[in-house]
Amino acid sequence: MPWGFPNRCECGARIRSKDKFCAYCGLGQPPPPAAASGEACEGCENPLRGRWKFCPECGQKRTVDVMKSGYSGQHVKLSDFKHATRILLLTDLHVTENASTPTLVGRLTTTNLCVDRVLQRFHGEIDQLLVSGDLVDHGNMGELERFVEILEGHKLRHKTTVIPGNHDLVLKGTKRVNLANFAQMLEQLPGHPREEDGFPFVRHLGNHVVVIGLDSTGVCRKRRAAQILLNGRGRVDAEQLERLKSELNRIPSDVLKIVMTHHRINPMPSTHGIWKRLKTRVVDGWLMALDGAEELKSLLTGSDNVLLVHGHHHVEHVEFPREGGLQATIGLPSSTHPDKFDGVYKLFMLVVQVGWVHLLRVVFDSPDGLLRDDPLEHLRLVRSFELKRSRTPSAVQRALEKAGFQRDKQESDLVGKWATGGFGEEIAAILRRPAFLRTAEDRNRLRAQRLI
């Protein structure tokens, strides 16, 4: 086999002479090993490393057990997920009234174009769109109307759930609140609360998924801003926390609860350098912090199957706390500006099946990547979660209906498929998993049933 460089495989990975195949592409030889993943090759039973895709001895493609390996980075396709609800997560769009208006954050004039490109690429592949605040930049009615026009142009107005950010409610450079304008915009998006109803609000998305929208800007129904200086500090007041507690008690424990806030509840990750540490402590830790974060976190950890999604900082920060029912806090970078930490553009998606939820990510070097490449070809798996389940899917659906949530057609078809399959609960649970999550034992059981 010809080699472009004596110490590298054709795929670019460094070679290791004692191995026969490249652990990345299956052709050459792998780089020096990283920490072991604790898995063994099914072909030759040699140990596999965490990032290897092929066994370096026999060249057999591995099966990644994502529940053991955590962050896998494995390439996936949406076709791998059958009977699933696909949810695109966006935040901090900072839409302006027209393309020539510069934004307050980053002084970019391409935010509207970025939003249009993202929705153009994904609108036919998603079932729901969640936007966790800062829909617009200067906080005026013209920008809010422009945001609705963009959604309508891609036929996503009925599939979109939004919450306010500090740019949406607090007008540029003042403490004057445009809550009435934002409420008027929400009237054009079905399923959102009226101004007198307030937050939080709950929407049923199907597939045993509900989304809970909070207003973390500190404005709520009081027509004054809680923010100081840069209008970036937020607050979740006692009234919202009390209403959230009652909603969490009303929703069945088996249901996936996606809680949306604009501000984060966990501190920012530590940075290197005295000036970066000072900025993190002063700006991110005080000027952009959330009052009432500990009380909110305590409520979420006390409920099962909770994912928290937020924005505000324009930085990716995904955590898996492994405490109580809070499975992950997903900090999204801006969907129209580069990530402040590494300068690249990132988009996140949730794929929800009965009993499972998968977090996917796609990364671009620049917004132009949306034009050059199809983002669906660059999806990578971040993490898969098996939801806590104490009842059958049909029993969970009955509990949802009893709690006042309308039955969804997609949910009805999916529940009916698994309820009438006659496979038994264990075999049905294996069938619900994507093929790349099945272990060798799972596949043997399916072969014994002649299901694969």
pLDDT at res. 338: 85
Among 120-129, 222-231, 370-379, the least confident range: 222-231
Rounded to an integer, what distance in angstroms lies between the CA atom of residue 231 and that of residue 227?
A: 4
Residue 120 has pLDDT above 70, yes or no: yes
- Under a CB-based contact definition with an 8 Å cutoff, are residues 255 and 228 in contact? no
- Return the closest-CA partner of residue 77 out of 318, 351, 330: 351
How confident is the model over 319-352, as pLDDT tens digits?
888 778 898 999 999 998 888 777 788 899 999 9
pLDDT at res. 55: 65
* Antiparallel, parallel or unpaired: β 209-213 and 256-260: parallel
Provide φ and ψ at 414, rounded to 5°. Answer: -70, -45
Residue 170 gets which letter from DSSP?
A: B
pLDDT at res. 79: 83
- How confident is residue 202, by pLDDT bands cut at 50, 70 and 90? very high
Rounded to an integer, what distance in angstroms lies between the CA atom of residue 301 and that of residue 422?
A: 35
How confident is the model over 148-177, as pLDDT tens digits?
999 999 999 999 999 999 888 765 555 556
- How confident is residue 2, by pLDDT bands cut at 50, 70 and 90? very low
- Under a CB-based contact definition with an 8 Å cutoff, are residues 47 and 29 in contact? no
Going from the C-alpha of 169 to that of each of 34, 85, 120, 138, 385, the distances in angstroms are: 48, 31, 27, 9, 35
Residue 412 has pLDDT above 50, yes or no: no
The domain locations on the chain are 1-62, 74-386, 423-452
Rounded to an integer, what distance in angstroms lies between the CA atom of residue 211 and that of residue 200?
A: 10
pLDDT at res. 413: 44
Provide φ and ψ at 114, rounded to 5°. Answer: -65, -45
- Under a CB-based contact definition with an 8 Å cutoff, are residues 299 and 248 in contact? yes
Residue 372 has pLDDT above 80, yes or no: no
The larger pLDDT score, comparing residue 380 to residue 20, is at 380
Class of domain 74-386: alpha beta
Mean pLDDT computed over every residue of the chain: 76
Rounded to an integer, what distance in angstroms lies between the CA atom of residue 157 and that of residue 147?
A: 10
pLDDT at res. 310: 95
